[in-house]
Chain A
């Protein structure tokens, strides 16, 4: 693979996270170094590992017994809501 083409501003958009121009510039430099460092993985022969590596010793699809029980009370669930009314969480309106 060629040298990484990280566009911090674009990725910050994907992550729904505003960055200051200073942060953008700093992360661009710092993360380019990190990506240069992780390039070493391209040199490792992984041909012996299947394409979807699943550890056969680990359990999959672990399900709890489907028992009826009380869930978190509404008041507790809303305890930390930044803005709430009528037992609902409030957000800015979506539809015009």
Chain B
């Protein structure tokens, strides 16, 4: 039986009926990984033996009992390597578990392996990993999106049942859209980032990738909640996200921001997204045109705030306490300078330079301070919009998966690939990307649903209603 093709919900039913064991699922996945990951390169490491050991001990009565989950390589799990796709952390062994890992373990999940990513989550194509380039399962000449490209690709290629990623400017939703799976970025503060290697602390959020909306709800049930170890996580009660699924979308007010249907958008993407919106209208949802007037500024704001925060967060990688240290350094300063030169890849260096510059004396007000102010205007845009609608729908990405190498020479073009996802992080609201069709060349298209702060339940209900009437998620990449 092809257990690797099933969803968490389907596997839970089979486990409960004692038709299969957790080890059967792990073995099915290992076999699948051995057969396709040579082409996909979604995993950095898979520990089959340890996964089988965990499977043997898994408490099947738990919410994720015996279900294998893949983890992006920037989330710490005690005793394992956590490389962040970087040479500087190539041999870094995590001394402790991230809170989401503790929660997964407590929920009975099996940690299957670690997925590839753009170095320190900086990128939109997973081409900036120091170790390997991940391919899109739908067309292996194309990129899977990024930065959580490995986590998206392994789910889309049935090499994982579900996975965790992190999203700072679209790093869950954009690869989910490009690979044709579900990717959820919870509200800032919904999921603890304790143990997530920090990129841009005012934007980073951990979230799930899955084959279905139902599975994302199950995963969010497990990973959400306040954590005393993470002071930006909020003590907002966690509802049962699965319980709310199955409701009708009749009467739901859906806002369509005019700024998101722009010239230059791929017409097949626009058509697929419009068709999905029409479906909601046909089910009795009310479609209202809204405006998010500062949309155009989002990328500029993001590349100032995110790089500024990254330049501060990545200052800790200096060769002193952990990670790589340059062997040819003879004094303190050259330890820092050479370690960082040898340890970081070029996108990370580029962003550290930009972030250091925008924070430097004489430029702080013009760049960083102004970006913070425009960020407040972006937040207000969403607050005002949500007075007129319950959810906002947009395309997740203006373009489908592009060819590997196409944008690596022009960072600005790469940055523009995140134009529809970035404002969500800046406004700290929640958002999910779900499959809503294919282009004529069979590349997946994603619909982005955006909800107000801590309204994940509403978001997942609407996404689930669409999923029940469409079979995009049942279509499999040709591998």
Contacts and interface: CB of A to CB of B under 8 A. Distances in A.
Contacts of B234: 59
A15 B353 contact: yes
A65 to B, nearest CB: 8
Contacts of A89: 320-321
B324 interface: yes
A40 B300 contact: yes
Interface in A27-82: 27, 30-31, 33-35, 37-38, 40-42, 44, 46, 48-49, 53, 55, 57, 59, 62-65, 72, 76-77, 79-82
Q: How large is the interface on B (under 10, 10 to 19, 20 to 34, 35 or more residues)?
A: 35 or more
Which has the most chain A C-beta neighbours within 10 Å: B91, B301, B322? B322
B341 interface: yes
A85 interface: no
Given A46-B377, A82-B323, A11 B415 contact: no
Given A17-B344, A44-B297, A82 B411 contact: no
Given A44-B377, A82-B325, A11 B349 contact: no
Contacts of A12: 353
Contacts of A77: 95
Which has the most chain B C-beta neighbours within 10 Å: A17, A40, A65, A77? A17
A92 to B, nearest CB: 5
B231 A62 contact: yes
Contacts of A27: 349-350, 353
A11 B303 CA distance: 17
A68 to B, nearest CB: 15
B332 A44 contact: no
Contacts of B325: 82-83
Given A41-B371, A46-B370, A72-B95, A91 B346 contact: no
A57 B380 CA distance: 12
A18 B341 contact: yes
B343 to A, nearest CB: 10
B407 interface: no
A25 interface: no
B311 A44 contact: no
A91 B335 contact: yes
B412 interface: yes
A16 B421 CA distance: 32
Contacts of B402: none
Tell me the dominant secondary structure on chain A's binding face: loop
B20 interface: no
B319 interface: yes
Nearest to A45: B377
A53 B344 CA distance: 33
Contact of A38 (B229, B303, B377): B303
A20 B372 CA distance: 32
B123 to A, nearest CB: 14
A76 B95 contact: yes
Interface stretch (B354-362, B430-438, B467-475): B354-362
Contacts of B96: 72, 76
Which has the most chain B C-beta neighbours within 10 Å: A16, A57, A62, A91? A16
Contacts of A14: 356, 360
A88 B318 CA distance: 17
B366 interface: yes
A23 B349 contact: yes
A23 B96 CA distance: 36
Contacts of B323: 80, 82
Given A14-B356, A55-B379, 17 more contacts: A1-B366, A16-B337, A17-B341, A17-B349, A23-B346, A30-B350, A31-B354, A40-B296, A44-B377, A59-B234, A62-B231, A62-B232, A64-B229, A64-B231, A82-B322, A83-B325, A92-B335
11 contacts: A12-B353, A30-B350, A33-B411, A34-B354, A41-B367, A41-B374, A42-B370, A46-B373, A72-B95, A76-B95, A89-B320
Q: Which 3 residue pairs spanning A and B have beta carbons closest together?
A: A80-B322, A82-B325, A62-B231
Interface of A: 1, 6, 8, 11-12, 14-20, 23, 26-27, 30-31, 33-35, 37-38, 40-42, 44, 46, 48-49, 53, 55, 57, 59, 62-65, 72, 76-77, 79-83, 89, 91-92, 94
Interface of B: 91-93, 95-96, 228-229, 231-232, 234, 294, 296-297, 299-301, 303-304, 311, 315, 318-325, 329-333, 335-338, 340-341, 344, 346, 349-350, 352-354, 356-357, 360, 366-367, 370-377, 379, 410-412, 415, 453
